[in-house]
């Protein structure tokens, strides 16, 4: 008897045993196939139970029958599996808990994929292909504003239900919010779309996964909208289903705007000098002019910063925030918006308030003082759908809440925007223990205490000497 061994690509061995007669005629042929194996462990932290299916597919669409399958009937977290007889190639390895025992995955059942799919098999058995099963978060619901209600203002607060998950100890890592006009389809570009992540929560203490205040100007007067929200968990970084839509109609007018009608004489001067498109009387009573190099300024309001969270807020926003809505843009288009502010300012910055990210300094701005007319021009470059546009979508509309920000200089202890002998006296009182120490105001040399050296440095600042 003659034994011949042949190798085929993708299998460990194709063994062919051939028995020959004395005149070299075949008596019988036996073929032996042996492929590679894949093994690992399955982990699950939830409370649901059921058989677990581990499946391998030859494509990422999972539309065909699984190429290999392994079923664990008495599953517990840490159970092992082995899939056998793979030819060389790329495979997508997935697993699910069959809660309803129909032998196929149904949405909502604990599910997991090998994190480095596709798995490449070539030349040897592979172990350590572990998979974590995860249940998606429960479908949230919309709580506020009440369904089919009419709002009292435009900067409404959206509130959704608390996070819940069948995996028991799983936690929330994100929420995503969308607002549409009521007649839009869910496949259309939304009016507003923002995601709140764990990083946002850590960096902005006033943010929340389950509530979001919509910036003034995002919504228009007297229109019906619908909104929805979904949640993402930690164990599987998996999203829940979208909530059902909830509908609301916005108010027809904002009475605050009655107090913000610009002074006609001042506005005329601004139009003649700077060709402004629109003017507004701000919270400090001053008239400010605004213009844009493209598009139309459809809505404008001066927002009192006292109505916004304190964390990260600048020391002084003399004109409040300008809530500006610019329309008639192409999606993703850039625009230059210029504000004309009465007065000259030392070291001004431009700050924005984002309901997700909180307060932050906006860098793409330039300040130019016109000494003849005594106005400062603040010119911002904005791009639809990017930083500075708080609606979160490139939809041809920019929603921009921001304003000029001023910060007190160290040594200006009484916060009157100047350093003089009264500040020296206050620093001395802190130094000798008469008044409570405030390092943010009086620790001039930043050594973590207020002592006689800080008193001397405050005095130098008061008389115009350098402190280096």
Tens of pLDDT, residue by residue over 169-222, are 889 999 999 999 999 999 999 999 999 999 999 999 899 999 999 999 999 999
Parts of the chain with a pLDDT under 50: 1-22, 24, 26-27, 29-32
**Tokens standing for residue 161:** 């239900």
The model's pTM is 0.76
Q: What is the pLDDT of residue 56?
A: 97
Spatial CA neighbour of 166 closest among 106, 212, 109: 109
Residue 257 per-residue DSSP state: G
| Cβ 62 vs Cβ 95: under 8 Å | no
3-state secondary structure of 371: coil
Exposure string of 314-343, with b = 16+ CB inside 10 Å and e = fewer, is beebbbbbbbbbbeebeeebebebbbbbbe
Q: What is the pLDDT of residue 23?
A: 53
Class of domain 36-133: mainly beta
Please provide residue 174's backbone torsions phi and psi, each rounded to the nearest 5 degrees. -170, 160
Measured in residues, the chain has a length of: 468
- Residue 187, judged by CB atoms within 10 A of its CB (0-12, 13-18, 19+), counts as exposed
How far is residue 183's CA from residue 86's CA, in Å, rounded to a whole number? 52
| Cβ 116 vs Cβ 131: under 8 Å | no
Q: What is the pLDDT of residue 46?
A: 84
Q: What is the pLDDT of residue 17?
A: 46
Q: What is the pLDDT of residue 4?
A: 43
All CATH 2.60.40.10 domain ranges of the chain, comma separated, are 142-249
- β-pair partners for 254: none
CATH code that applies to domain 142-249? 2.60.40.10
**Tokens standing for residue 423:** 């500040």
Q: What is the pLDDT of residue 3?
A: 42
How far is residue 18's CA from residue 2's CA, in Å, rounded to a whole number? 6
- In this structure, what is the dihedral angle of CA atoms 233, 236, 238, 241, given to the nearest 10 degrees? -80
- β-pair partners for 237: none
């Amino acid at each position: 008897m003659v034994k011949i061994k042949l190798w085929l690509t993708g299998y460990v061995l194709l063994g062919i045993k051939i028995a020959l007669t004395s005149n070299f005629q075949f008596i019988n042929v036996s073929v032996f196939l042996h492929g590679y194996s894949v093994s690992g462990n399955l982990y699950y932290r939830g409370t649901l139970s059921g058989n677990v299916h581990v499946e391998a597919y030859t494509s990422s669409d999972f539309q065909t029958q699984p190429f290999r399958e392994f079923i664990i009937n008495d599953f517990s977290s840490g159970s092992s599996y082995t899939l056998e007889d793979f030819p060389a190639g790329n495979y997508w390895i997935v697993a699910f808990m069959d809660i309803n025992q129909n032998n196929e995955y149904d949405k909502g059942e604990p599910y997991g994929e090998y994190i480095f799919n596709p798995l490449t098999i070539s030349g040897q058995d592979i172990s350590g292909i572990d998979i974590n099963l995860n249940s998606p978060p429960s479908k949230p619901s919309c709580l506020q504003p009440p369904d089919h209600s009419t709002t009292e203002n435009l900067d409404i607060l959206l509130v959704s239900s608390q996070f819940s998950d069948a995996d028991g100890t799983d936690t929330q890592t994100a929420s995503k919010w969308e607002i549409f006009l009521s007649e839009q389809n869910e496949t259309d570009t939304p009016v507003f779309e923002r995601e709140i992540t764990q990083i946002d929560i850590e960096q902005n203490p006033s943010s929340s996964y389950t509530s979001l205040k919509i910036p003034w100007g995002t919504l228009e007067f007297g229109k019906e909208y619908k909104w929805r929200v979904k949640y993402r968990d930690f164990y599987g970084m998996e999203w829940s289903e979208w909530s059902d839509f909830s509908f609301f109609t916005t108010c027809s007018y904002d009475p605050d705007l009655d107090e913000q009608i610009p002074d006609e004489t001042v506005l005329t001067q601004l139009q003649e000098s700077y060709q402004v498109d629109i003017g507004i009387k701000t919270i400090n009573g001053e008239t400010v002019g605004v213009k844009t190099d493209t598009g139309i300024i459809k809505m404008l309001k001066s927002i009192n910063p006292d109505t916004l969270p304190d964390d990260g807020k600048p020391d002084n926003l003399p004109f409040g925030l300008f809530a500006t809505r610019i329309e008639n843009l192409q999606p993703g288009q850039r625009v230059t918006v210029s504000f004309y502010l009465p007065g000259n300012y030392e070291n001004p910055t431009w700050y924005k308030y984002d309901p997700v990210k909180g307060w932050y300094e906006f860098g793409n701005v330039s300040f130019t003082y016109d000494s003849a007319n005594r106005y400062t021009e603040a010119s911002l470059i904005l791009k639809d759908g990017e930083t500075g546009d708080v609606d979160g979508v490139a939809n041809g509309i920019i929603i921009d809440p921001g304003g000029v920000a001023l910060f007190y200089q160290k040594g200006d202890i009484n916060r009157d925007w100047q350093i003089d002998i009264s500040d020296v006296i206050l620093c001395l009182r802190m130094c000798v223990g008469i008044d409570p120490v405030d390092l943010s105001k009086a620790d001039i040399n930043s050594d973590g205490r207020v002592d006689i050296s800080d008193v001397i440095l405050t005095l130098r600042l008061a008389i115009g000497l350098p402190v280096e």
